[in-house]
Chains A and B, each alone.
Chain A
Amino acid sequence: MRGYLLKRIPSALLVLLLASFLIFAILRLVPGDAAEVLAGPDAGPESVAAIRGQLGLDEPLLAQYASWIGDLVRGDLGPSYAIGGQVADLIGDGLGATAELTLGALFFTVTLGLLFGVLGAASRRRPVRVVVHALTTGALAVPPFVTGVLLVLVFAVGLSVLPSGGRVGLLEAPDLELQYLLLPSLCLALPSAAVLGRYLKDSLERAFAEDYIRTATAAGVPRRRLLWRHALPNALPPVVTLLGMQTGQLLGGAVLVEAIFAWPGLGQLAEQALNRRDYPVVQDLLLLLVAVFVLVQLLTDVVYAALDPRIRWE
C-alpha cells in the first residue's frame, strides 16, 4: 500500500501545479488589481504605479508566478497586500475554525446520509420511506442560506436553545463550542447528506437484488444482519467515492455558511481577500483547498480498498 501511495505522489503534484497556474491566471483576469484597490478610488495613476512597483506587480506575469511558486516551495507565504500581516498567520487563524466546521459537517453528512439511505432502502414501513424521500428532496431543494436562516429562526430566535452565530473556540470551552458548531455544521451538511442518502439507498437496493443476498436469505440469515453484514459493505464503496467528492462541496459551501453564522473561518478571509484583490492570500487559500481535496481523494482510495478485498495494491 505504501508503494501505491508513493506512486500517486507525482500525479498529485501535477494536479497542484496545474491548479496553481489556473488560480494565478484567473486572478489576473479579474478586472482591477491589488494596487488600484490599495490606492483607493481617488488616487492618480502615478501613485497606483508606485504601489504596483512596491508590490512587484509591474514585473512580467511569468516572473510573478515563478516567484510565488518559488516562495511557496521554500515555505514562505509572504506578507498580505491589503489585509495586513503574514499570509501564513491569516490562514492559520481561520484554518482551525473552518476545519472544525467542515469536520462537523462531515459528521452530519455521514450519519444523516447513512440514516436516510438505510431507512429509505430497508424500512418495511412505507410511511418511513415516504418521509425519508420527502426529507431528502427538501434538503436538496432548499439552498443553505435559506436553511441557515430557518435554523436560526427556529433554534436561536424561537426556541432560544442554541446561539445564532459566532464561535468561542474548541479549546477554550468545548461544551459551549459544540453548541455554537451545531447549527452551522448541520446547515452545511444537509444538502450533502441528502445526496449521500439518495445514493446509498440506490446502492443498497442494488445490493439487495444481488444473488448473494438470496444465498444468505436461503441460509436463514436474519433480516437485520442481511442489511448490516451482507448488503451494506457492498453498497458502501461507490458511496465513499461520492463522499470524497462531497468533501469538496463542503469546503466550498463553508464560505457561505460562515457568512450566515458569523463564523470566523477561511471563508470570511477569502471573501475579504478577494474583495481587496489580495493576491497572495487568495492564491494560497485556493491552493490549500486543492491540496486538501487531493488528499481526500487519496484517502478515498485507501478506504475503498479496505472495504473491498478484491482491490489489491499493485
Chain B
Amino acid sequence: MTSSTPTTSPTPTASPSQDALLDVRGLSVDFGTPDGAAVHAVRDVGFTLRRGETLAVVGESGSGKSTTALALTRMLPDTGRITAGSVRLGDTELTGASEEELRAVRGARIGMIFQDPMTSLNPVLSIRTHLDEVLRAHGHGDRAARRARAEELLALVGIPDPRRRLDDHPHQFSGGQRQRVLIAMALANEPEVLVADEPTTALDATVQEQILGLLTRLNEETGTALVLITHNMGVVARTCARLLVMYGGTVVEDGPTAEVLTRPRHPYTAGLLAAVPRLSSPSGTRLAGIPGSPPDLSLPLTGCAFAARCASADERCGSEAPVLESPLLESPELESPLLEATSQAGHHVACWHPDTAASTVTSAAPPVRSRYRNPAELARREAELEVRLEVEGEPGDQLPADDAPLLETSALRKEFRGRGRVGRRNRLVAVDDVSLRLHQGETLGLVGESGSGKSTLARLLAHAHQADGGTIRLRGQDVTRPSRTALRTLRRQVQMVFQDPYASLNPRMTVGDIVGEPLLVHGLHPDRAAREARVAELLELVGLDPAAVDRLPRAFSGGQRQRIGIARALAPEPSLLICDEPVSALDVSVQAQIVNLLSDLQRDLGLALLFIAHDLAVVRQVSHRIAVMHRGRIVESGPVDEVCESPRHPYTQKLLSAVPDPVPASALGVPAA
C-alpha cells in the first residue's frame, strides 16, 4: 500500500472557521503486521470539534474509533503510523509535531480517559502521585500548590473526603471511583478537549449513569469540549450533541445526535440502531442483527466499506467509495444523491443510497414465531408456555406433577472466607438464601451488577462450587452434594456458556476437538465417525459451516467463537443451559445474532435456560421470568414484562432507571418516564 491516499476528505462542518478547536482531515492510520501486510485501521477520517462541543464517535470493534482517538496525539502503538491527513489543534499541527511538542499537548490541551479503570491506574502509586505527575509534567506550581490542586480535583470529580483519600492507592477505590480519578487526571490542567474512549464500558449501569452525569456537568461547567467514543447508543443519546458513526475505518454518518438516532440515513446506522435491545420492548421481541461480519481491513478499500453487508448495495457501492459531503463545499456532482443527502442542516452521510435502507433493515427483523419449521410443534409449545405463564410467577405450584420444576433451589448459600486472618470476621456472603425455580422450556433471566453474586450462583448450579447451605434439586432429586459418579451425570445435564469467547476456547484445539470433547468425555459417541457426524450437526445447529472443524479458534470472530462455545455446551444434550453474560463481550450487531440463536435453541430444543446478564434490555427480550440479584440475595422476581414495567423493589427501580435509552425521549415526542 502506498500512503498516497488522496485527501479528498471534506470538512463536515460548515467551514473551518475560527471556532474550530480540533480539525481532523483525511486522517489515515495503518498498522503493520508480522507478515508484512498493512491493516488500514482508519481511512480518510475527518471531523471538526468546536469549543465546548460534545461529539460522540460510535462504532463497533474494528471500526477505527479508538485508533482515531489515539492518533490525535500520536499515541499509536509502535506498529501503527499515520499515513495521511492532518490533525490541527488550534494553530498546532499534531501529525508533524515533535515528541516534546506532543508531550506538552498530552494531558495539558488534550486530556484522555480510557476504558478500563481497573488497569488504567498504576497500582504502586498513590492517587496523589497520579495527580501530581500530571500537574508536574506541565510545570504546575510547586509541591504545595500541586497538592492543593490535587485535593481540589478529587473534590471536583466527586470523591468524598478528598484530603484523606489522596494518599490511598488505586486498589482502595471502587471501579467507578477509579474512573473519577482518571477523569480528575485528564482535567488537571484544564484541557481544551477531553477524549473519553469507552469510559463507562467496564462499569455497572448505575455507576455509568454517575460518570456520564459527571462528564456532562464538567463539560457545562468548564467548557471543555468532549469527544466520547463508545459502542453504546444509549450512552450517546444521553451525553452528546453531535454524533459521528464509523464503520470499517471510515466515517459513514455525521449529524446532530437526536436526528441521527431517530432518522438514521446510512444503512449501517439504521441496522445498528435496530440491533440495540430496547428496555421498552416486551419479552420475546426479536433483535435484528446485521448479517455478516465487519470488513477485512488488510484489504484495499474499493467502494463502500459496508457494501458487503448492505441490503441496498448495488454495483456502484462495490466500486466507488461514497464521500461524506459537506453542503457548503462546491460539489462537482450536482446530480448526485449526495447533494440530496446533505439537505438537512449538519447531517451528512457517506452513502450512494441514503435513507433507503432504514426501512429495509428494521423490517428485516423477523417476528418471533417465524422461525418455527413445524407449526404444530410450535402451537403445542406455545400453548404449554402460555398456560405456565398465566399461572404467574410460581408456575410449579399449580402445574401437573409431571411438570415439576427442572431445577429448584431453596435457601442456597455460599460464603467466601478471607485467608489467614485469625479471629477476624472477614467473610463474604456471595449467595444468600437464594430460592428459585426453572422449568423445562423456560428462560429465567438473572440480572444484577458486578459483585451481586450472579456468577457465583451460576457456579453453584453448575457444581463448580459446593454450596455452604440450602439445597439444589434437579428433576426433584437432591443434587446439592453429589457423589463422584452422580456429578458426572449432572455435568451432562447442566452445561455452561461463558462470557469471554476469546478466553474460553483452548487456542490450540481445533473446533472439531472443542465441540467433540464433551462427547468423548461422556462416552456419548464412542465411534469416531458417529462423533464427527454429531459435531457437524452441532455446528450446523449454531449456524456455523461444518467444514470448519479443522480450524483453530483464532480463525473465527468473536460472535463465531461464541457459537462454538454454544455448540460445545449443547454437545452432551443438556437439559439446563447456564449462560453467564454470553453476549457482553460482543458487538451490538453480533450480540443480536447470538441472543436470537439462544432463544431459538431454547425453544427448539426445549431447554431450560438461565440467562445471566447485567444488560436489562437483553434480559427482558430473551426471558420469560426474571430475578434481580443484589448483594447475594434475590430481591425481586416475576414475569419479565411485569417486573420491567412495574418494579416493586427500590433496587430494581434504580437499576431500570439507570439504563440509558438509545432514542432520546424528547426526540420521539414521548414524555420522559
**A residues adjacent to B (C-beta < 8 A):** 210-212, 214-223, 225, 229-230, 233-234, 307-310, 314
A234 to B122, alpha carbons, bound, how many Å?
8
Which residues from chain B contact A310 at a C-beta distance below 8 Å?
123, 169, 171
B361 within 8 A of A: no
- Give chain B residues whose Cβ lies under 8 Å from the Cβ of A210: 119
Query: Is chain B's binding surface mostly helix, strand, loop or mixed?
Result: loop
CA distance A214 to B182 in the complex (A): 12
Quick check: is B392 within 8 A (CB to CB) of the other chain? no
* B107 CB contact (under 8 Å) in A219, A307, A308: A219
- Return 9 A-B CB contacts under 8 Å, by A number: A211-B119, A215-B120, A219-B133, A219-B134, A219-B188, A220-B134, A220-B137, A234-B124, A309-B123
Q: Which of A222, A230, A314 contacts B122 (CB 8 A)?
A: A230
Q: Which residues of A contact B75 (CB under 8 A)?
A: 214, 217-218
Please name all residues of chain B whose beta carbon is closer than 8 Å to the beta carbon of A234 when the two chains form the complex. 122-124
B121–A212 contact, CB under 8 A?
Answer: yes
Q: Is the CB of B133 within 8 A of A229?
A: yes
Q: Give residues of chain B (168-215) contacting chain A, Cβ–Cβ below 8 Å.
A: 169, 171, 182, 185-186, 188
Whether the pair A309, B112 counts as a contact (CB closer than 8 A) is no
Determine whether the beta carbon of B120 is less than 8 Å from that of A212: yes
Contact check, B103 vs A220: say whether CB atoms are below 8 A apart: yes
CB distance from A39 to the nearest CB of B (A): 56
Q: 8 closest pairs, A vs B, by CB?
A: A220-B107, A219-B107, A218-B112, A212-B122, A211-B119, A220-B106, A219-B134, A220-B137
Query: Which residues of chain B are near A308, meaning CB under 8 Å?
Result: 123-124
Is there contact, CB below 8 Å, between B171 and A219?
Answer: no
| A214 nearest in chain B by CB position | B114
Binding site secondary structure of chain A: helix
Residues in B lying within 8 Å of A, measured CB to CB: 73, 75, 99, 103-108, 111-112, 114, 116, 119-126, 133-134, 137-138, 169, 171, 182, 185-186, 188, 420-421
Q: Inter-chain contact count A-B, CB under 8 Å?
A: 82
Contact of A220 among B104, B126, B420, B421 (CB under 8 A): B104
- Which residues of chain A are near B134, meaning CB under 8 Å? 219-221
Q: With A218-B73, A218-B106 in contact, do A211 and B116 touch (Cβ < 8 Å)?
A: yes
Is B106 touching A217 in the complex (CB atoms < 8 A)? yes
Contact B133 A221 (CB under 8 A): yes
CB distance from B80 to the nearest CB of A (A): 13
A211 near B137: Cβ-Cβ < 8 Å: no
Residues of chain A within 8 A (CB-CB) of B112 are 215, 218
Residues of chain A lying within 8 A (CB to CB) of residue B104: 220
Known: A221-B134, A225-B133. A314 touches B103 (CB 8 A): no
Chain A residue, CB-CB nearest to B168? A309
The answer to whether B107 and A218 touch across the interface, beta carbons within 8 angstroms, is yes
Return the chain A residue nearest B137 by Cβ.
A220
Give the interface centre of A212, A222, A234, A307 by most chain B CB atoms within 10 Å. Answer: A212
Q: Which of A214, A218, A222 has the most CB of B within 10 A?
A: A218
Known: A218-B112, A219-B107. 14 other contacts (CB 8 A): A211-B119, A212-B121, A217-B75, A218-B73, A218-B75, A218-B186, A233-B124, A233-B125, A234-B123, A234-B124, A309-B123, A309-B126, A310-B123, A314-B420
**Bound form: Cα–Cα A307–B116 in Å:** 24
When chains A and B are docked, how far (Å) is the Cα of A198 from the Cα of B197?
35
Instruction: For B105, give the chain A residue with the smallest CB separation.
Output: A220
A219→B106 contact, CB < 8 A:
yes
Residues of A within 8 A of B99 (CB): 223
Q: From B109, which residue of chain A is reached at the shortest CB distance? A: A220
Cα A61 to Cα B138 in complex, Å, equals 73
List of B residues within 8 angstroms of A211 by Cβ: 114, 116, 119-120
Q: Which residues of A contact B421 (CB under 8 A)?
A: 314
B421 to chain A, nearest CB (A): 6
Pick from B99, B108, B114, B133 the residue with the most CB of A within 10 Å: B133
Measured between alpha carbons, how far is A223 from B18 in the docked complex, in Å? Answer: 34
Residue of A nearest to B419 (CB): A314
Q: Closest A residue to B110 by CB, please name it.
A: A218
Compute how far the CA of A210 lies from the CA of B120 in the bound complex, rounded to whole angstroms: 8
B186 surroundings in chain A (CB, below 8 A): 218-219
Q: A211-B116, A215-B114, A225-B133 are in contact. Are A220 and B123 (CB under 8 A)?
A: no
List of A residues within 8 angstroms of B121 by Cβ: 212, 215
A212 touches B119 (CB 8 A): yes
Q: How far is the CA of A222 from the CA of B101 in the complex (A)?
A: 11
Contacts of B114 in A (CB 8 A): 211, 214-215, 218
- Residues of chain B within 8 A (CB-CB) of A219 are 106-107, 111, 133-134, 137, 185-186, 188
Q: Inside 8 A of B124's CB, which chain A residues have their CB? A: 233-234, 307-309
Which chain B residue has the least Cβ–Cβ distance from A310?
B171
Chain B residues with Cβ below 8 Å from A220 are: 103-108, 134, 137-138
A216 touches B133 (CB 8 A): yes
Instruction: Establish whether residues A222 and B171, one from each chain, have CB atoms under 8 Å apart when the complex forms.
Output: no
List the B side residues contacting A221 at CB < 8 Å. 107, 133-134, 137
A7, closest chain B residue (CB): B420
CA distance A79 to B6 in the complex (A): 91
The residue of chain A having its C-beta at the shortest distance from the C-beta of B115 within the complex is A211
Q: Which of B103, B125, B126 is A222 in contact with, Cβ under 8 Å?
A: B103
A216, A225, A229, A307 — most chain B CB neighbours (10 Å): A216
* Nearest B residue (CB) for A229: B133
Considering the chains assembled together, what is the distance between the CA atoms of A105 and B106 in angstroms? 43
**B182 CB contact (under 8 Å) in A215, A222, A229, A307:** A215
Tell which of A211, A222, A233 has the most Cβ of chain B within 10 Å. A211
Q: How far is the CB of B324 from chain A (nearest CB, A)?
A: 28
Distance in angstroms from B129 CB to nearest chain A CB is 8
Residue of A nearest to B426 (CB): A314
How far is it, in angstroms, between the C-alpha of A217 and the C-alpha of B99 when the chains are bound? 11
Chain A residues in 8 Å Cβ range of B73: 218
Give the residue name and chain of the A residue nearest to B118 (CB): A211
In the complex, chain A residues whose CB is within 8 Å of the CB of B116: 211
Least CB distance from B109 to A in Å reads 9
List residues of chain A with CB within 8 A of the CB of B133.
Answer: 216, 219, 221, 225, 229-230
When chains A and B are docked, how far (Å) is the Cα of A216 from the Cα of B133?
8
Q: Chain B contacts of A314 at CB under 8 A?
A: 420-421
Complex CA gap A225/B129 in Å reads: 13
For A308, give the chain B residue with the smallest CB separation. B124
* A214 B120 Cβ-Cβ under 8 A: yes
Distance to closest chain A CB from B629 (angstroms)? 28
Q: Which residues of A contact B105 (CB under 8 A)?
A: 220
Instruction: Give the shortest distance, in Å, between A239 (CB) and chain B (any CB).
Output: 14
Q: Which residue of chain B lies nearest to A232 when distances are taken between CB atoms in the complex?
A: B124
Complex: chain A residue closest to B104, CB-CB: A220
Contact status A222-B106, CB under 8 Å: no
Could you say which residues of chain B place their CB within 8 Å of the CB of A233? 124-125
- Which of chain A's residues have a CB closer than 8 A to the CB of B122? 212, 215-216, 230, 234
The residues of B that contact A223 with a CB separation of less than 8 Å are 99
Residues of A within 8 A of B123 (CB): 212, 234, 308-310
| Alpha-carbon distance A230/B421, docked complex (angstroms) | 32
Bound Cα distance from A59 to B212, whole angstroms? 82
